[in-house]
A and B are shown apart, each in its own frame.
Chain A
Amino acid sequence: MAPPQSFLWVRRIFLTLLTVFVVLPVFVMVTSSLKPLEDVSGKFQWIPSGLTISPYFDIWDTVPLADYFMNSLVVAGTATVCSVVIAVFAAYAVSRYNFRGKRVFTVTVLSTQMFPGILFLLPLFLIYVNIGNATGIALFGSRGGLILTYLTFSLPFSIWMLIGYFDSVPRDLDEAAKVDGCGPLGALFRVIVPAAIPGIVAVAVYAFMTAWGEVLFASVMTNDTTRTLAVGLQGYSTQNDVYWNQIMAASLVVSLPVVAGFLLLQRYLVTGLTAGAVK
């Protein structure tokens, strides 16, 4: 049955306006990154006076963007790998075993999600500084400290989502694997993990995006050598000039890895969210 005209028109108008709203910043980002500095410093122009790709070369010299990129990559990459592995183990335990404290564990882990980051910032800052003073292990200002922090940010949500995913893998499968001679870990890695790959990919994408986009801890807990992109992008505003064309070019460059990864893997993220969230 075809929907009535009123529905079609409302849908058309709503989706058009929404598309404009969504696309506008992307349009500004892309076009402004191709404009000369005079254009982005003066009145906004829909049609630029001249196209240039020089911002894409200048961004690497104005600030040490490559270093920031490397820091972000190492921090987000390591945090993602660790977070996913740890979440797989924890979710397996919750999904497949009954043990004392199971409910307490899941509730505690989930409730950390609701706490404001600002609540942890001050104490964590104090802990890292004090551990550094006491043991000489530099957590404050180091990549290690940031990795440690970030991997726990995505952990609760990852565990939660993977429990839902592992629950949907039939128990007969790992029972069969165990009877075939696999240990519990064998069953996990040979049966459950392969069957839950979409969920694991979803969790990995989520963890990477969380770490790649984090601003608060990155701005407090990094120094000149460990600065991530989140903080480094602010370097294009100097006392005299704001290099808006370079900021836009750099924003585009740092967004590309996550947006490309996300759009490639979004199918998994959507199914992963479905399994985790709708339950």
Chain B
Amino acid sequence: MTTTAAPVPGERTAEKNNPGAAPRRRRSGRLRKIGLPYLLLLPALLLELLVHLVPMIIGIVVSFRQLTQFYIRDWATAPWAGFDNYAVSIDFDAPVGEALVRSFLTTCLFTALSVGLCWFIGTAAAVFMQENFRGRGFLRTLFLVPYALPVYAAVITWAFMFQRDNGIINHVIHDQLGLTDSPPFWLIGDNAFVTLLVVSVWKGWPFAFLIMMAGLQNIPRDIYEAAALDGAGVWQQIRRITLPSLRPVNQVLVLVLFLWTFNDFNTPFVLFGKAAPESADLISLHIYQSSFQTWNFGTGSAMSVLLLLFLLVVTGLYLLFTSRGKKATDA
């Protein structure tokens, strides 16, 4: 630091001795000070506007219109529909609404299970690998492989493993272990939910592991030493020190996992194709299918907006709850 700071006064005086340059520099400097941050943000802002905010507004507008394939070329001329699209979406006695609510409930259950398992496996792995042991570095790298693999390559491999006749899963549980009378179907019917869950957890837990490892690095070592001196065993240390210290990291992690899992489109799409079996019909794929299969963009948009409202409410409540909790513990 001292070496970089040393020549500074000299430079300053040199500039002062040059009367012509100083005022100009100061004026442009002030201009820059006001405008520069905005100028730097401009590209990011424009792109976010074009690809996120404008589409969101258009999505809301479209949800109030009767937008079918005939109006795609000029969606602004599509007839006004008022709340018709919403009425259709939430009419739980009619097929569309019934399918939507079923898909929504499936997604809720799926998300709860997947986030829970990802969190548990990720945390356990991070805690177990907090201390150094032989092969720790290798395992750490290996555990990141599911995270690094492109979704479609990984999921297509799982689809192969879950094939009824030539997959490894049925080979093991039916042929080798004899657990079932006939080889079960995994990619259609009720089992599809389990299949989707396994793949989702496989793909998702390394992220929890990564974040938890980062969180663990921030716990000072001497707390453990003090606890050990006081006679706390390993399990007690984990319960009393490690897990409570991870709480702030947990709050971010669970929210991110929730949003990713709830909105996941890729896993069911690669696993099942355009139409997932009823038991594994996640909401994103469901909206995609009801929009692009029937070319009814109005209803699809209404469903998207409902989904967005739900996520906003849940996220808002969650943030409120967790920041309240934090304030309470701080006080």
Q: Which residues of A contact B (CB under 8 A)?
A: 1, 3-4, 6-7, 10-11, 14-15, 18-19, 21-26, 28-29, 32, 40-44, 86-87, 89-90, 92-94, 97, 99, 102, 105, 108-109, 112-124, 126-127, 129-130, 133, 148-149, 151-152, 155-156, 159, 172-173, 176, 179-181, 183-184, 209, 212-216, 219-220, 229-230, 233, 244, 247-248, 251-252, 254-255, 258-259, 262-263, 266, 270, 273-274, 277-278
Contacts and interface: CB of A to CB of B under 8 A. Distances in A.
Given A11-B128, A24-B168, 17 more contacts: A14-B128, A28-B157, A93-B38, A117-B284, A118-B265, A126-B62, A127-B54, A152-B51, A215-B265, A216-B269, A251-B152, A255-B153, A258-B148, A258-B149, A274-B214, A278-B215, A278-B249
Interface in B270-313: 270, 283-284, 287-288, 291-292, 297, 300-301, 304-305, 307-308, 311
A86 B139 contact: no
A25 B161 contact: yes
Contacts of B51: 120, 124, 148-149, 152
Q: Which of B1, B52, B270 has most A Cβ within 10 Å?
A: B52
Interface in B73-108: 73-75
B148 A262 contact: yes
Contact of A159 (B44, B151, B168, B311): B44
Contacts of B297: 122, 126
Given A87-B44, A274-B217, A3 B234 contact: yes
Given A215-B266, A248-B157, A44 B168 contact: yes
B11 A181 contact: yes
B47 A230 contact: no
B193 interface: no
A28 B300 CA distance: 38
Given A121-B288, A215-B266, A176 B41 contact: no
B234 A116 contact: no
A89 B148 CA distance: 27
A188 B70 CA distance: 51
Contacts of A216: 265-266, 269, 284, 288
Interface of B: 1, 4-5, 7-8, 11-12, 32-33, 36-38, 40-41, 43-45, 47-48, 50-56, 58-59, 62, 72-75, 121, 124-125, 128-129, 131, 139, 141-154, 156-158, 160-161, 165-168, 170-171, 175, 202, 210-211, 213-215, 217-218, 228, 233-235, 249, 252-253, 259, 262-263, 265-266, 269-270, 283-284, 287-288, 291-292, 297, 300-301, 304-305, 307-308, 311, 315
A220 B217 contact: no
5 contacts: A15-B139, A90-B41, A179-B8, A213-B266, A255-B154
B201 to A, nearest CB: 9
Contacts of A118: 263, 265, 284, 287-288, 304, 307
A248 B160 contact: yes
A124 B48 CA distance: 12
B287 A92 contact: no
A146 to B, nearest CB: 11
Contacts of A10: 128
Nearest to B301: A122
Contact of B44 (A22, A29, A155, A184): A155
The A interface is mostly helix, strand or loop, or mixed, namely: helix
Contacts of B308: 115-116, 119
B67 to A, nearest CB: 8
B166 A152 contact: no
Contacts of A7: 234-235
A102 B171 CA distance: 57
Given A23-B142, A216-B288, A123 B166 contact: no
Contacts of B146: 22, 25
Given A115-B308, A172-B1, A259-B149, A120 B55 contact: yes
Given A126-B297, A129-B72, A149-B51, A25 B202 contact: yes
B36 A97 contact: yes
Contact of A123 (B56, B171, B263): B56
A44 B167 contact: yes
Contacts of B151: 213, 215, 230
Contact of A109 (B37, B44, B59, B158): B44
Contacts of A183: 32
Contacts of A259: 145, 148-149
Contacts of A21: 202
B62 to A, nearest CB: 7
Contact of A179 (B12, B48, B269): B12
A230 B72 contact: no
B37 A99 contact: yes
Given A7-B234, A109-B44, A152-B52, A28 B161 contact: yes
Contact of B59 (A24, A32, A112, A119): A119
Contacts of A155: 44, 47-48
Contacts of A19: 139, 142
Q: Ordered nearest first, which 8 A-B pairs have the shortest CB separation?
A: A123-B55, A262-B148, A251-B153, A93-B40, A44-B171, A116-B263, A274-B214, A90-B44
Given A115-B52, A152-B51, A215-B270, A42 B45 contact: no
